[in-house]
Structure 1
Amino acid sequence: MSKGPDMKTRRRSLFGAGKLAPIAALLLSAGLAGAATLGARSADTDSGIGVSGARHLVSRTGFGASPAEIETFRLLTREQAVDRILAGLGEMAETPMPSWTRDWIYPADQIWTLGPTIEEFFYVSRDLEADELRLWWLREMVTTASPQTERLTLFWHDHFAVKFSDVENSHWLARQNAHLRRHAAGNFWDLAAGMLKDPMLLAFLTNTENTRDKPNENLAREFFELFTLGEGRGYTEADVKEAARALTGHGITALGEPGFALFPEEHDAGSKTVFGKTGPFKAEDLLALVFDHPEFGPYIVEKLWLEFVSDQPDPEEIKRLAAVWRSRDFALKPLYRALLLSDAFWDPANRGRLIKSPVELYVGTVRSLGLTVAQPEEALWALEDLGQLLFEPPNVAGWPGGTAWITDASAVARTAELSSLLSWQASGSTKRTKPPAPDQPGDDGHMPSVASKAPATRTLQIGAVFATEAETYEDGEERGSRALLTLYDVRYGGRRWRSLTLNLEQVVGEELPYLDIFTGDCTPLCFPSLPRDQDERDWIGYAPEPDLRESFGDFDPADLQFAATLIRYLPEIVEQTRPSIVWSDTYAREMAEEEGFQPAPLERIQAIARDLADRSVPVFNGIRSAGFRIEEGAAGVLGLSGLENGYRDGADLEDVLEAREAGTFEALGALQPKTAFVSASAWMNALAPAETADVAAEQALLALPLPVDGKRREMIASDPEALIRRIVLSPQYQVN
């Protein structure tokens, strides 16, 4: 994503230096200065929590507080208000995720075979999708009726921090975001258990390299230190090492749609001792050990306290809340309720104690004032400038938060971004209708795949064919040649599957070649009636033996025709891989030098394919094979949108990417809350009544009051836009 210098210049020219000193003074040392003054107007009344209390609850748990939200809550009691917040928490987003999130996961493990230029294009396209997902999430934050749902999702995103740029899988990112939202107010067990199988987290913390012979401690260490117990709380270095053994073999499948897989051959099934308990533990056992640990609970409660209550933990209150949480079997909603109804949450001394994160500051301003961001990409630029680009925390510990948000540079940038937001662009108070219900993730955390139904036809259609392995091997006395091909986007007989993987093999000294078909990526199951390997049920083995026909009566005729067609066209399928770098001399030299094996030439694999096809003619005699074609325009499902008609050179690829980026942002439209205001005056008119206009505006926007400065304040109060600008650009607006 590029940033235009004109945009930078425009934003940077909106303010001067000189804001840092008062901001730093307020945030770092004077957070309580206004609490006593605020106390009189923040106390509950007989008729409810009041304007200030409503603003406090809504903005602390969400993103800012609009006039409508304040009006909704101000007449409620604390208990009524908190219960209303909790009742509104959802498990699914209100707006649909981008359409590509509901497609199959792209074949990232195969794209490299198309060469470095296409591979680079592929990963830059994933960066654009990550930006699109960021903007989708920002839109959800801005428009949702439950900003508290998104605030909790953001909290858990920061807790289980994963950096997109280190993994570069946009589908995994979307599914992780859906998982965090689904369980943000559920039970911590379900939230944490899902994360231990989350491919984004497994890849980010390199648990894919955690094997029985070479344990990798990254995930185990962070699981204790950052995700559950807290650093130095109730575990030893020996516990980390043993936990790493429990997590061996927990990785990501290389065949079919990439996702979590347990590899038994890589898992250490031996006895481990963790927290003084011994057994052949796996990941789920590790979770149970942590939940049974007497010191589990306070660390999570303390993080929530620092997020929603105060920058100063209260050990006794945290201990009490942890006990409440344990008594409710670690369900999160009861914990949130106890936290939000605590005296500490409502104590005036704890208002203005928390520095707003960049997302809270930016989204909260848009929601509170009903602003319109005409060009949504500006929101991305702003958050990147402010140090909180969604899905890009600095490391596995997440964003440091607190006073770390304020540096010389960030203090200036925060004022600049707020100043650029303060323009009233809507033509009137705009009501936006609720979008149609989105396709939502399933219970397993996965988005629905592309529809399995395809137009009924007996033509075998394949979107793309990848050759990912080809070798001439020698294993003891056995020698031979083999190749692994992945058929992507397969359509046949009114069905559509993400992929089939074929292993073509010829052993020296044996008459018949072999074909193995991996069906683990078939939903619904393909070839359901054909016999399968008893040990590996996702594999179907085939050799063209003439007497095989005797068992055909046991099989579905449609399965036989599908198999006959697939085998009949094996030579044409192999030919489709000719451009693959697997067949190049450069690849052959690299594999010989680095891996110590000799790649099989294309001609050898073509010969095996022809032999399989020819020998299968009498086997399938009388079973008419269907037609075959490579499907044109498969670039979209490959993650290569824009290349449907091919390309001529690298410059063309750059043009395609630029056009796609511009089109993505243009299609998204303005970023706008459900109620936008035409002007500062319109916003002021929506506020709850107060003794003066400036008091009404301050109560709606600030946790701490502005200092009284006589005539200047009186003069500004008569100019709504100047009044709002003064409040929003004040140091007090930076805290909550």
Structure 2
Amino acid sequence: MRLRSLRDDPRQAWAPFQASESDPWDLDRVAHLHRRAGFSPSWQVLQRDLADGPGPSIDRLLRGETEALDGTPAASFEGLMDAMARGPGASAGAAGLQAAWLYRMIHTPFPLRERLTLFWHDHFATSIEKVNDPALMRQQNDLLRRHALGSFSEMLRAMARDPAMLIWLDATASKREHPNENYAREVMELFTLGRGNYGEGDVQEAARAFTGTFVVQGRYRHNPREFDSAEKTILGQTGSFDGDAVASILLDQPACARFLCRKLFALLVSEVDEPPDPLIEPLAEAYRRSGYDTRVPVAMILRSRLFFDRSSRRRRVKSPVEFAVGTIRALEVIAPTVSTNELADACSRMGQRLFAPPSVAGWDGGPTWINTTTSLARTNAALSLLNDRRRFDPEALASRHGRGEGPAAFYIDLLVQDAFSPEVRERIEGPAREVATLVLTAPESQLA
């Protein structure tokens, strides 16, 4: 049953994947799982999860590994990364924050959580270019990570008090006599409901509910004297609502869970196939029933027949950060790893400057990641890594993990698996560095 028929049958689409002789748990499916639910994995991880099967492999992504890639215990690693972001990261401005986050993504024992933190960074897009305060941007990043696989309800309520977000949306002084509509508008259009599911009157009334909101010396403050306590009518409900009440009203709208699940579908299943409403509804219903626990729809997708269907593969273009971090993790460039300051610059040249999305709508993503300029930047980034003889030895990696079939088979299986046809596979040969370069710079390597 291929993608089209699964799309037309939600019950079958979201049923758990069961490996069989005709649909085996193979290297292609293991690699697909990691590309979507984290970053491209090392050969050791591919082989481990191939042996363990889908259940344990997905469970491990949801809960995280016990150790970071550098061998640090997971809890200790998180503490070290928090300290790095608070200290050297924030003190070095935007560049330091970018470098610290990239280092965390490269080594993390929680690749799914970091991948979703990146997703929410795009969803609640906020730029340091305007906020101009690394400490506030770091605090927002912590907030996104804390709730990345947890409560969207709590994250939404916290975002209404997040100083970086309020500065970004010019919502640092919303007074009763002059309500600021920016946050009220974006929370409906971009964060919860999407266009067409609210009216201008709803925005104006919600703006009154967010009055009394101030940012003073980088901290959120609520001034009761500037709060409009009179009745408001928002999406058909009337009361003397405040910001928390608005969040509850938005979360109660059926459109909210559907809107969010469509974005999760684009992230995890396909950004080029528009899912019909009946296909999204089971995800949205499960999300609502869970009280907006993001782990619920994510796990439902990752365990599903639709997710593992062959025709769901490579239906997304890797973002620059996905491409860069995944390549480093797959090629085991860990000790020593690359300069993450240089990597941040490379990601910017590829079109994704962390902590600086281009607008309140985030990055356009999809095919827009690939153009003449950014394609050249991707190739240059790959070549820079592959030609760094201090950090990467392609012959040694292939010899350590190869199965006697030569470097071509190894690097194809590691980096693109079934993306190459048998005819293409047969034509690729040569020294390990040459083969790795050819595979990594192929168009197929840009797809998730």
Tell me the TM-score normalised to structure 1 length.
0.54
**C-alpha distance in 2 between matches for 1:188 and 1:301:** 12
Which residue of the other structure, out of 43, 66, 86, is the alignment partner of 1:101?
86
Q: Retained in 2: the 8 A contact 1:305–1:313?
A: no
Shift of 1:717: 2.9
Q: Which amino acid aligns with 1:251?
A: F
Tell me, yes or no, if structure 1 residue 252 matches structure 2 residue 215: yes
Cα distance change, pair 99–288 in 1 and its aligned pair in 2 (3 A): same
> What secondary structure, in the 3-state scheme, does the structure 2 residue paired with 1:252 have?
strand
Q: Which amino acid aligns with 1:145?
A: P
Which residue of the other structure, out of 14, 18, 34, is the alignment partner of 1:58?
34
Matches within 5 A, 1:274-673: 274-311=234-271, 312-315=273-276, 316-371=278-333, 374-426=338-390
Higher helix proportion: 2
Which residue of the other structure, out of 432, 439, 442, is the alignment partner of 1:720?
432
Aligned to 1:241: 204
Shift of 1:298: 0.7
Tell me, yes or no, if structure 1 residue 74 matches structure 2 residue 34: no
Shift of 1:368: 0.8
Cα distance change, pair 688–88 in 1 and its aligned pair in 2 (3 A): farther
User: Could you give the per-residue CA deviations for residues 104-136 of structure 1, whole angstroms, max 9, x where no partner exists?
Assistant: xxxxxxxxxxxxxxxxxxxxx978322112111
Which residue of the other structure, out of 378, 395, 399, is the alignment partner of 1:685?
399
Which residue of the other structure, out of 681, 699, 712, is the alignment partner of 2:413?
699
User: Could you give the per-residue CA deviations for residues 555-578 of structure 1, whole angstroms, max 9, x where no partner exists?
Assistant: xxxxxxxxxxxxxxxxxxxxxxxx
Q: Which amino acid aligns with 1:394?
A: P
Q: Retained in 2: the 8 A contact 1:309–1:350?
A: yes
Shift of 1:248: 1.1
Q: Retained in 2: the 8 A contact 1:54–1:73?
A: yes
User: Could you give the per-residue CA deviations for residues 26-69 of structure 1, whole angstroms, max 9, x where no partner exists?
Assistant: xxxxxxxxxxxxxxxxx956797222211111121112111121
Aligned to 1:269: 229
Q: Retained in 2: the 8 A contact 1:52–1:700?
A: no
Tell me, yes or no, if structure 1 residue 729 matches structure 2 residue 404: no
Cα distance change, pair 426–416 in 1 and its aligned pair in 2 (3 A): closer
Shift of 1:715: 7.3
**C-alpha distance in 2 between matches for 1:374 and 1:88:** 23
Q: Retained in 1: the 8 A contact 2:121–2:144?
A: yes
Shift of 1:211: 1.5
Which residue of the other structure, out of 192, 195, 213, is the alignment partner of 1:228?
192
Percent same amino acid among aligned pairs?
33
Shift of 1:209: 3.2
Q: Retained in 2: the 8 A contact 1:681–1:720?
A: yes
Tell me the TM-score normalised to structure 2 length.
0.87
Q: Retained in 2: the 8 A contact 1:44–1:50?
A: no
Q: Retained in 1: the 8 A contact 2:43–2:330?
A: yes
User: Could you give the per-residue CA deviations for residues 173-202 of structure 1, whole angstroms, max 9, x where no partner exists?
Assistant: 111111111111111111111111100001
Higher strand proportion: 1
Cα distance change, pair 84–723 in 1 and its aligned pair in 2 (3 A): same
Cα distance change, pair 717–87 in 1 and its aligned pair in 2 (3 A): same
Cα distance change, pair 236–686 in 1 and its aligned pair in 2 (3 A): farther
Cα distance change, pair 690–74 in 1 and its aligned pair in 2 (3 A): farther
Shift of 1:332: 1.1
Cα distance change, pair 94–716 in 1 and its aligned pair in 2 (3 A): farther
Q: Which amino acid aligns with 2:137?
A: L
Q: Which amino acid aligns with 2:229?
A: A
**C-alpha distance in 1 between matches for 2:108 and 2:324:** 15
Cα distance change, pair 307–686 in 1 and its aligned pair in 2 (3 A): farther
Shift of 1:207: 1.2
Which residue of the other structure, out of 191, 209, 222, is the alignment partner of 2:155?
191
**C-alpha distance in 2 between matches for 1:192 and 1:413:** 35
Q: Which amino acid aligns with 1:243?
A: A
Cα distance change, pair 324–686 in 1 and its aligned pair in 2 (3 A): farther
**C-alpha distance in 2 between matches for 1:299 and 1:273:** 22
**C-alpha distance in 2 between matches for 1:66 and 1:204:** 38
> What secondary structure, in the 3-state scheme, does the structure 2 residue paired with 1:297 have?
helix
Q: Retained in 2: the 8 A contact 1:207–1:248?
A: no
**C-alpha distance in 1 between matches for 2:80 and 2:418:** 34
Shift of 1:143: 0.8
Root mean square deviation of aligned Cα = 2.6
**C-alpha distance in 1 between matches for 2:301 and 2:99:** 31
Shift of 1:373: 5.1
**C-alpha distance in 2 between matches for 1:364 and 1:94:** 23
**C-alpha distance in 1 between matches for 2:373 and 2:310:** 31
For structure 1, list consecutive stretches of 5 or more residues without a partner in the other structure. 1-42, 104-124, 428-677
**C-alpha distance in 2 between matches for 1:50 and 1:696:** 15
**C-alpha distance in 2 between matches for 1:227 and 1:354:** 22
Q: Retained in 2: the 8 A contact 1:58–1:69?
A: no
For structure 2, list consecutive stretches of 5 or more residues without a partner in the other structure. 1-17, 66-73
Cα distance change, pair 130–223 in 1 and its aligned pair in 2 (3 A): same
User: Could you give the per-residue CA deviations for residues 320-356 of structure 1, whole angstroms, max 9, x where no partner exists?
Assistant: 1111111212111111110111222111111121100
> What secondary structure, in the 3-state scheme, does the structure 2 residue paired with 1:74 have?
helix
Q: Retained in 2: the 8 A contact 1:351–1:704?
A: no
Q: Retained in 2: the 8 A contact 1:424–1:680?
A: no
Q: Which amino acid aligns with 2:215?
A: I
**C-alpha distance in 2 between matches for 1:229 and 1:386:** 31
Cα distance change, pair 341–313 in 1 and its aligned pair in 2 (3 A): farther
